Chains A and B, each alone.
Chain A
Amino acid sequence: MLNKSMFIKPRNALEGDGQSNAQPSIPEKLCRACPACKAALFSQDLQENLMVCPQCGHYFRMDVESRLRLLADEGSFAELYADLTTQDPIAFPNYEKKLAAARKATGRPDGVVCGTARIEGQETAIFVMDPQFMMGSMGTVVGEKITKTFEMAAERGLPVLGVTVSGGARMQEGIFSLMQMAKTSGAVLRHSQAGLLYIALLTDPTTGGVTASFAMEADIVLSEPRALIGFAGPRVIEQTIRAKLPEGFQRAEFLLEKGFVDAIVPRNEQKKTIAHLIRLHERRKEI
């Protein structure tokens, strides 16, 4: 269950103002069908099993709150830049309406949550993209917040952990969305030049402009099992080549085989794996 005490900063979007908003993304229905094995699952069992189907091992998408609960030490997450909102830079028709719906569904102004947390006691800058906010698409707010996170981490000498999920660029912000790829890449580079560690955890799906920028720029690229990871989406490729894609194409296991992912880490091992990797990069006097 969401432990509100894990958020130490008041007035943040995750905390909400009362019961109604505390668990915005947990479905109200008690039961869910597994899309892979069709088993009927109790939502609570699924939650307790880290949103992995107990019958077949299918990975359900994890909301931001659950992800932070999984990875951050209890009570250690302090959110930053929570209030940034888009200026609708190209005044795209009907964008405001879409945004309003996404904000209502998620209880936050845009698609990424950033801050600092401890991971097995180690202070880490962290960003988690939100699969429920317009498909985790990257516009100016996502780009700006991730950039700020890397800049803050570089200044404070912190490692960065980024959890990605994205359908790609936010089309409704036009060229400004595209430019976020360059901007975040610059921030990753400057953090890297400070000799600091960046670990990316890629989750299903990580595609488009996010794959072609900060998701693939980490020192260590981890993935969840079976996550779809690619530049072009499978449908676009099928249209281009006019053929069906082979089973498993663009899945995490495929990327591991092709050399683009360092390791595939199951949910129940993610925290200790990431904590271990951060410890391995502590600056030591000897050797």
Chain B
Amino acid sequence: MTAYERLCAARAKGRPTARAYIDHVFDSFFELHGDRLFGDDLAVRGGIAELDGKSITVVSIEKGEDTKEKIARNFGSPNPEGYRKALRLMKQAEKFHRPVFCLVDTAGAYCGLGAEERGQGSAIAQNLMGMMGLKTPIVSLLIGEGGSGGALALAVADEVWMMENAVYSVISPEGAASILYKDAGQVERAAEELRITAQDLLRFQVVERVIPEGEGFEAAYAQIRALLQQTMARLCAMDDETLTRVRYERFRKIGGLME
């Protein structure tokens, strides 16, 4: 598949959204609302799940399934209060020593008046710092679109995984085409040249794992469940200092340069 074909697959109508993953991977899920500061951003859906008798905090970006829900969830483009809700739930997870699992699926953080007024940049920055220092394990899975800083704000993790047809990019191929080539039509070329596929990012060691989609999503959910159990068991055995140091080193070496 070309990068552009994967981009189309990541955005395809009918592709499972975060809810499907939560429903299939976990035994139960209790949703928690609000950032305690401004409101409840429906683009971010979080709560506490159970996985084989263990509690786990789940934070997801939910695009919505039908048109009505998509509108209510702002098509999965969070506002600052969404990122603040996410961080609130992660801090809560830290308090109760339960691991965090993030499901990322967004074209990007919302670019609106209110988002800027309420500090979109600040909200994302606080998540990056907050997740970098969080004293509990974090695993993030990109399930569809990984749109720039708005996706990274839920993907500063001990391990980052991607679905086979998910994409992760610093800018949308459309944005890159219009800025770099001055031609909004050259999306296919931008998708290729930006290196946004799961396979590229695995090669770059930006992600640890690619979950295959070829056997269908039911098989994928089962694999994610098994992998989460193994990975969280391993990460939970680490002391806080080691966990956060290794997490920092994970990102520290990406694009590291020698003098």
A interface list, Cβ under 8 A from B = 81, 83-87, 89-90, 92-93, 139-141, 143-144, 147, 169, 171-183, 185-190, 192-193, 208-209, 211-217, 229-232, 236-237, 240-241, 245, 249-250, 258-260
Contact = CB atoms under 8 A, between A and B. Distances in A.
Nearest to A234: B116
A213 B206 contact: no
Interface residues of B, number: 49
A262 to B, nearest CB: 12
Contact of B132 (A90, A186, A231): A186
Interface stretch (B61-69, B95-103, B191-199, B224-232): B191-199
28 contacts: A85-B257, A90-B195, A140-B255, A169-B171, A171-B179, A171-B180, A174-B169, A176-B206, A176-B254, A179-B152, A179-B206, A182-B254, A183-B254, A185-B156, A186-B129, A212-B120, A213-B128, A216-B121, A216-B122, A231-B124, A232-B111, A240-B110, A241-B112, A245-B113, A250-B116, A258-B117, A258-B118, A259-B119
Contacts of B111: 231-232, 236-237, 240
Nearest to A140: B255
Given A147-B252, A185-B129, A212 B124 contact: yes
B136 to A, nearest CB: 16
B179 to A, nearest CB: 7
A245 B115 CA distance: 13
Nearest to B116: A230
Contacts of B251: 179, 182-183, 186
Nearest to A151: B252
Contact of B116 (A89, A141, A181, A232): A232
A249 B153 CA distance: 24
A259 to B, nearest CB: 8
Nearest to B168: A175
B128 A181 contact: yes
Contacts, number: 174
A175 B169 contact: yes
A90 B176 CA distance: 14
Given A175-B170, A232-B116, A93 B152 contact: no
A178 B148 contact: yes
B255 to A, nearest CB: 3
B204 A176 contact: yes
Contacts of A189: 129, 132-133
Given A83-B259, A141-B257, A144-B256, A232 B115 contact: yes
B219 to A, nearest CB: 27
